[in-house]
Structure 1
Amino acid sequence: MKTTIVKLEDSVGKVLFHDVTRITKAGKFKGTLFKRGHLIQKKDLPKLRKIGREHIYVLELGPDELQEEDGAAKLASLITGTNLRKAKPTEGNVAIISDTNGILKIDVERLDKINEIDGLGIATQHKDRLINSDEKVAVAKVFPLTIKKDQINRATQICENGGPIINVIPLKKMNIGLIITGNEVYHGLIKDEFGPVMKKKIKKLGSTVTKIVFAPDNPKQIVDEILKLKNEGVDLIIATGGMAVDPDDVTLRSALEAKANVEKYGAPVQPGFMFMISYLNNTPLLGIPACAMFYDTTILDLVLPRILAGEKLTRKDITSLAHGGLCLKCKKCTFPICPFGRG
């Protein structure tokens, strides 16, 4: 790369090699003052001086080099997988945007390897979180004004072994069966408050509660309802309540008697310690503790979107929620823009 530094007063008629950024305090403005390729005019000089510019670069690329935005665009193409699109380069950055509502999947090990390459940077959101359509999930960046093609080739080799490192798995529209357990609801002593909460949460995620049944604290009747829903072909069964350690809490026992494979009972998440995930063949059967009726945000908000994306969650998936699994129960909940579930 051949670099010439030109005084601002001598720069009229020269072409900018990179975006010029203007930043003001207190978050009022941060953006591009002049784009790459802009032909500097005399009227531009006061604006450039106001942002502290007294010189500009005039650069000539070598055959083994790329300009920063061209390098960032190539890097973004390497890492962008399914259900994602790339924005136009700006200020040496290329944003990666989701095309759908879904779960963000990131190969963190390979992400780290690329970020070890001098001159390249990729910033992402946390993996395994629910992403909305048109949401920015990552930004690819080249730090210097130019980057050696060899640096990009190293990133290419990392991505060739396993494909793009960032993908979004879309949510499916599932039919869900609810089993509301508890003598107090079954016998009409109190009004069911679990059903409406669950229906609202599930509807927001694009799926449907196709059937709600009620069962007393009787393992045989709960097993019967589980197997009926399974035979009716629902995609997911959720049993509410009965997850604690009292004698009348029999949901776990019922899942075992229904021959479900209990992947994990008890989760290192608060609210949600007494959560259960199990499978009847390939049909997920969840046991949801009463906290999901009381709190707006619980373990269910961490696992349900992933199940609706078709993931088969394992014991390890649940135990890995421990780091970041403590909800701070803020006066004003800002989930998912908060630390909960972001280990």
Structure 2
Amino acid sequence: MKFGPTPLDEAQGAILAHTLRLPGRVLKKGTVLDAEAIAALREAGKAEVIAARLESGDVPENEAAHRLGEALLGPLLARTRAATGRVNIQADAAGLLVVNETLVNRLNALDESVTLATLPNHTPVAAREMLATVKVIPFAVPGGVLQVAEAVARSGRALAIHPFRPLKVGLVLTKLPGLKESIMEGAVEATEARVTALAGQLLPPERCRHEEGAIAEALGRLRKAGAEMLLVAGASAVVDRRDAGPAGVVRAGGRIEHFGMPVDPGNLICLGRIGEVPALVLPGCARSPKLNGFDWVLQRLFAGLPVTGKDVAGMGVGGLLKEIDSRPLPREAAARQTVSGAAPRRPRQVAVLVLAAGRSRRMAPLNKLLVPDDKGVPMVARVVSNALESRARPVIVVTGYESQRVEEALAGRPVHFAHTEDYAEGLSASLKAGLGALPPETEGVLVCLGDMPLVTGAMLDRLIGAFDPEEGRAIVMPTFRGKQGNPMLWSRAFLPEMMEITGDVGARHLAGKYAERVAEVEMANDAVLRDFDTTDALRMAPDFAGRV
């Protein structure tokens, strides 16, 4: 691949290295220059551009990323389409991610042009969560390098999802005189939260004396009730293999396989088994929702992975989880960490604007926003309900034309209203009224159109998940099969320019102006392309047939 200043006479078919803003047009980084683009560059007074020119045998970045993504696929793995030399690998089911670190390191050591970044090994993940990203660094990869990379990727399973199994879990709570009932209830709540987060079911807990015989009998009752995993939460911490909890497991016909682990908190866990049923005596920290060594063991067992003494001994690196003054771990964040296995990033403060002020001229005399579906729900109410199902807050509805009727259609829903008297001026008036109502702490805003009822809350959450202004993803745009849609998510940094827009237009033109800050999120269906401006269009929409 040749790279550098390229005269326009030699630039046709070359790949533009940097975004260029021309009068009335933006040429984005990565654009393959055709005759029309070169003519525009000449008209703008350009004599040369910084560009990459592929040579024989070179594979373009998107094709290379696509091929390597295909080579990495396996059961319960999916990939996104290639864009800007990147393909993301996603989970098709909730489970535990197991990373073949040796294979990943081999792949990354091949050549600087090809990289694979993954989540940490043994990370719990949700369905559709991103596990890894393939990034081709230059605009093209030598064909020979790519062939070797594909062979390495197919030589083993770099990434594997072990789905969580819906296990029935039995819990024994032991009692000592003077032990507060609230402590026992806290242990039940924390355990149930962990179990349900991993798709399991906690059977009604057994309470008994903190004695070997009583524990053994309680374990026996839980086995008869169908428990596929047994837990003992002792009133007193385990200090020896022969203590009451472990001794109760042995007396119930089991064995102790390992005591202790190099994870803090979680040191005093005891791993055992009764027949083929795992039996664990829990450390005292398991009563808390904070991440501890018990979580790591529980996640692997739910994923069907063995947990041996050797496995536990290998958990020391990264096993210092203890909350200390210099590295605080708030309890609420720790509770979320129980499931994710990693300290979560602070959620972005994203609001939703639902633009519902227009006069619906193309569907007159009907107001399309108030047309009910087959369940009697007006279109604007469906749009707002979808927004409320997302994690964005607040949801602000901009009213104008027939504002009282719109507000009545949304009665009882936890939304805020912003009214514009200038709705006849077009979309920009609605946009400015909504932006003016945003709370000061808002970091981003989703601008939703009131006539797009097929866009779900889950779709909005996917856009929010991609939003990261610090990483250059300050404008997030949904796409379907390469076509750009709505709604769009905007960083607060663009609000001053959005407030200057006039006429019956939105802010989409700013995405062209700031093309390098746009992130596209591919959607599974065309809902982000479908608005309903006419009665004919509305008749074709799900649940609206026969209403117009």
TM-score band, normalised by the shorter chain? 0.7 to 0.9
8 Å Cα contact 2:210-2:244 kept in structure 1: yes
Report deviation, 1:248: 10
Which amino acid in the other structure matches residue 326 of structure 1? L
Map of 1:199 onto structure 2: 192
Return closer, same or farther for 1:245/1:2 CA change in 2, 3 Å cut-off.
Answer: closer
Which amino acid in the other structure matches residue 290 of structure 2? D
Map of 1:225 onto structure 2: 218
8 Å Cα contact 1:217-1:249 kept in structure 2: no
> Does 2:281 align with 1:283?
no
Q: Which has the higher contact order (CA 8 A, sep 6+)?
A: 1
Deviations 1:149-175 (A, max 9, x none): 22222233334433x311211111111
Indicate the percent of aligned positions where both proteins have the same amino acid: 20
Return closer, same or farther for 1:185/1:246 CA change in 2, 3 Å cut-off.
Answer: farther
Map of 1:68 onto structure 2: 61
Select 1:55's aligned residue among 49, 52, 62: 49
Which amino acid in the other structure matches residue 6 of structure 1? T
Report deviation, 1:246: 8.3
Select 1:91's aligned residue among 84, 95, 107: 84
**Under a length normalisation based on structure 1, what TM-score does the superposition of the two structures give?**
0.81
Which amino acid in the other structure matches residue 134 of structure 1? R
8 Å Cα contact 2:80-2:88 kept in structure 1: yes
Select 2:250's aligned residue among 231, 256, 271: 256
Gapped runs of 5+ residues in structure 2? 21-26, 345-548
1:305-316 residue pairs with structure 2 within 5 A?
305-316=299-310
Return closer, same or farther for 1:6/1:296 CA change in 2, 3 Å cut-off.
Answer: same
Return closer, same or farther for 1:248/1:289 CA change in 2, 3 Å cut-off.
Answer: same
8 Å Cα contact 1:19-1:91 kept in structure 2: no
Return closer, same or farther for 1:218/1:121 CA change in 2, 3 Å cut-off.
Answer: same
- Find the residue that maps to 1:193 and give its secondary structure: helix
Task: Report the Cα distance in structure 2 between the residues aligned to 1:181 and 1:193, rounded to whole angstroms.
Answer: 13
Which amino acid in the other structure matches residue 176 of structure 2? N
Return closer, same or farther for 1:190/1:267 CA change in 2, 3 Å cut-off.
Answer: closer
Map of 2:109 onto structure 1: 116
Which amino acid in the other structure matches residue 278 of structure 1? G
Which amino acid in the other structure matches residue 86 of structure 1? R
Return closer, same or farther for 1:19/1:222 CA change in 2, 3 Å cut-off.
Answer: farther
Report deviation, 1:281: 2.3
Map of 1:17 onto structure 2: 15
**Under a length normalisation based on structure 2, what TM-score does the superposition of the two structures give?**
0.53
Give the structure with higher Rg (CA).
2
- Find the residue that maps to 2:267 and give its secondary structure: coil
Deviations 1:255-294 (A, max 9, x none): 2223323221111111111011212222111111221114
Report deviation, 1:204: 2.4
Which amino acid in the other structure matches residue 224 of structure 2? N
- Find the residue that maps to 1:338 and give its secondary structure: coil
Task: Report the Cα distance in structure 2 between the residues aligned to 1:153 and 1:247, rounded to whole angstroms.
Answer: 54
Task: Report the Cα distance in structure 2 between the residues aligned to 1:171 and 1:131, rounded to whole angstroms.
Answer: 10
Map of 1:81 onto structure 2: 74
- Find the residue that maps to 2:203 and give its secondary structure: strand
Return closer, same or farther for 1:302/1:43 CA change in 2, 3 Å cut-off.
Answer: farther
Select 1:180's aligned residue among 155, 173, 181: 173
- Find the residue that maps to 1:263 and give its secondary structure: strand
Return closer, same or farther for 1:247/1:129 CA change in 2, 3 Å cut-off.
Answer: closer
8 Å Cα contact 2:17-2:52 kept in structure 1: no
CA RMSD of aligned residues (A): 3.4
Gapped runs of 5+ residues in structure 1? 23-31
8 Å Cα contact 2:54-2:140 kept in structure 1: no
Which amino acid in the other structure matches residue 274 of structure 2? L
Map of 1:210 onto structure 2: 203
Return closer, same or farther for 1:140/1:247 CA change in 2, 3 Å cut-off.
Answer: closer
- Find the residue that maps to 2:172 and give its secondary structure: strand
1:264-343 residue pairs with structure 2 within 5 A?
264-294=258-288, 296-329=290-323, 330-332=328-330, 333=333, 335=337, 336-338=341-343
- Number of matched pairs: 322
- Find the residue that maps to 2:71 and give its secondary structure: helix
Which amino acid in the other structure matches residue 6 of structure 2? V
Task: Report the Cα distance in structure 1 between the residues aligned to 2:17 and 2:170, rounded to whole angstroms.
Answer: 54
Task: Report the Cα distance in structure 2 between the residues aligned to 1:207 and 1:247, rounded to whole angstroms.
Answer: 28
Return closer, same or farther for 1:217/1:110 CA change in 2, 3 Å cut-off.
Answer: same
Report deviation, 1:3: 6.6
8 Å Cα contact 1:243-1:249 kept in structure 2: no
Report deviation, 1:217: 1.4
Report deviation, 1:61: 3.9
Task: Report the Cα distance in structure 2 between the residues aligned to 1:109 and 1:252, rounded to whole angstroms.
Answer: 37
8 Å Cα contact 2:190-2:287 kept in structure 1: yes
Report deviation, 1:239: 0.8
The structure with the largest helix share of the pair is: 2
Which amino acid in the other structure matches residue 106 of structure 1? V
Return closer, same or farther for 1:13/1:297 CA change in 2, 3 Å cut-off.
Answer: same
Deviations 1:44-84 (A, max 9, x none): 7999x9xxx9623362441x331122112111111222212
Return closer, same or farther for 1:38/1:292 CA change in 2, 3 Å cut-off.
Answer: farther
Report deviation, 1:141: 2.0
8 Å Cα contact 1:18-1:91 kept in structure 2: no
Map of 1:167 onto structure 2: 160
Return closer, same or farther for 1:55/1:140 CA change in 2, 3 Å cut-off.
Answer: same
Task: Report the Cα distance in structure 1 between the residues aligned to 2:160 and 2:116, rounded to whole angstroms.
Answer: 14
Report deviation, 1:178: 0.8
Map of 1:27 onto structure 2: none
Map of 1:156 onto structure 2: 150
8 Å Cα contact 2:266-2:283 kept in structure 1: yes
> Does 2:128 align with 1:130?
no
Task: Report the Cα distance in structure 1 between the residues aligned to 2:267 and 2:283, rounded to whole angstroms.
Answer: 8
8 Å Cα contact 2:270-2:282 kept in structure 1: yes
Report deviation, 1:237: 0.8
Which amino acid in the other structure matches residue 164 of structure 2? L
Task: Report the Cα distance in structure 1 between the residues aligned to 2:287 and 2:187, rounded to whole angstroms.
Answer: 6
Map of 2:6 onto structure 1: 6
